[in-house]
Structures are given as C-alpha cells and as structure tokens.
Amino acid sequence: MVLSRSQAYIGILIDDLVTKGVDEPYRMFTSRAELRLLLRHDNADMRLTEIGYRIGMISKERYIEFSKKRENIETLKRYFLNTKVKNETPGFERFSEATGIRLSEPTLLAKLVCRPEVEAEHVAILLPDALRERTNWEELRVAVNDLKYAGYIESQHQLAEKLERMETRVIPEDLDFEQISGLSREIREKLTRIRPRTLGQARRIPGMTPAALTLLNIHLELRSRRERARA
C-alpha cells in the first residue's frame, strides 16, 4: 500500500525522507505539501476511509457511517447549488445581521457560501428545518469549504493529475546520469547518489531545476523510443 503526496501527509513524509535525505531533523510542516487544499484536516476521512476499507482496516459499520456522511455532504452541496436566496427568505434577516449582506436580487446560496465573510454557522441559518436537523456541523463545514475553495481545489486536482503522470514515468535502474548531456555536475551527482525511481521523485530533489528535469524527461523519452524500435 503506497499513499501518494496528494493523498496523505504520510506520503509526503516518506517521499521527502527518500528523496531529500535526513541530513537534519525532519519535521512535518503543511508547507511541504504542494496540494494543501486537498490535504485539509476536515476531509481526511474523505481521502482515506475508502482506501482503509478496501485493505481491511475499516470495519463495515464504520464504512456505512462514512458513506452516510459523504452522501449528506453531497446533498448539502446540491442544495447550495440549486437554491436561490432573497431578502424575504426565512432566516435571511438573521443571516444579514450576522454577515452584513443584503441582496438586490435572488442569489444562489452557493454564491453566498463563497463570500469570504460567510462561515458555516451563517449558512446554517438559511437551511430548512428538515435539512438542518439531519446535518451535523462537521458535514456542514466540509460542504461549505468544498464550495468556497472549489476553483482552487479543481486547480490542485489538475496539478495532482500532472504530478501523478510524472510519478508513473519510471527511471531505469541502470540509467547512467553521466551520459545525459546538459546536466550540471551538481545535478548529476545528486541523481547518482539518490537514484530516484521516477521523474516525480527526481523533481523533488533539492536543487533540481525545471531545465534539468526537461533534459532528463527528453532522455527517457528518446531511450524509450530506441527500445521500442529494437523490439
């Protein structure tokens, strides 16, 4: 079982120790993550429960509870995206007093959720009684954060996919980095000492430049083409 850098901080910790070494004491900071919005503390179960259940670490009872929570969060987000709010909406007066927001026209609740001054407790004021009663605060906070940062989260998902493609580009164990023209002596020495398994690991070596990574990628592609031609 291997957790990637986009799935869990333990994946970042292990990857850092492998690719960056332990010349000094290592501490796990959130700043070490390229995809911090995907690794929020409030969505840890969304990221990892499915994996835990698949490998037998999560009981069926707990998985059923998790599935209900996930469905409740999706229900909330659908409600936000399909419900318009106006000044006459029940609870809006209290909402307006708490946030200072007034509306000139009916507005999607999702747009209000994305306003910086709006928090989960403000959104709860606008929920129908039936929906509010079956929703807990944790579910509401996750739904609000997912919508509030949706644009950034989508960008990070796209970046995660790009990084994942780099992780699958394997560097052959017998590759002689000294034979790659254009690499500096420092980069060659680091690659030879660390022996990254993938292009993604090579990218995270301290001092690795975009230009050096491009040269390495080109070399791997040319080598792959030569091997296919001989096959």
> What is the domain-level CATH number for residue 139?
1.10.10.1800
Q: How far apart are the first and last CA of the chain?
A: 33
Name the pLDDT band for 25 (thresholds 50, 70, 90).
Answer: confident
The answer to whether the CB of 31 falls within 8 A of the CB of 2 is no
Question: Is 52 within the bounds of a domain?
Answer: no
Q: Are residues 142 and 97 in the same domain?
A: yes
Q: Are residues 197 and 147 in the same domain?
A: no
Q: Are residues 83 and 131 in the same domain?
A: yes
Each residue of 54-95: pLDDT tens digit?
999 999 999 999 999 999 999 999 999 999 999 999 999 999
Domain's final residue, options 107, 122, 156: 156
List phi, psi (to 5°) of 107: -135, 140
Q: Are residues 152 and 74 in the same domain?
A: yes
State the pLDDT at residue 207. 84
Q: Are residues 85 and 139 in the same domain?
A: yes
Domain's final residue, options 131, 156, 181: 156
Q: Are residues 92 and 148 in the same domain?
A: yes
Q: Number of folded domains in the chain?
A: 2
Q: Are residues 204 and 182 in the same domain?
A: yes
Least confident of 8-12, 47-51, 81-85, 87-91: 8-12
Q: Are residues 140 and 176 in the same domain?
A: no
Q: Are residues 108 and 191 in the same domain?
A: no
Q: Are residues 191 and 221 in the same domain?
A: yes
State the pLDDT at residue 18. 79
The answer to whether the CB of 202 falls within 8 A of the CB of 191 is yes
- What's the predicted TM-score (pTM) here? 0.71
Name the pLDDT band for 229 (thresholds 50, 70, 90).
Answer: confident
Q: Are residues 148 and 100 in the same domain?
A: yes
Least confident of 61-70, 91-100, 118-127, 190-199: 190-199
The answer to whether the CB of 201 falls within 8 A of the CB of 2 is no
CATH code of the domain covering residue 193: 1.10.150.570
Question: Is 68 within the bounds of a domain?
Answer: yes
Question: Is 195 within the bounds of a domain?
Answer: yes
The answer to whether the CB of 164 falls within 8 A of the CB of 4 is yes
Domain's final residue, options 106, 126, 156: 156
Q: Are residues 67 and 142 in the same domain?
A: yes
The answer to whether the CB of 201 falls within 8 A of the CB of 18 is yes
Tell me the residue range of the domain where 213 lies: 170-230
State the pLDDT at residue 205. 86
Question: Is 29 within the bounds of a domain?
Answer: no
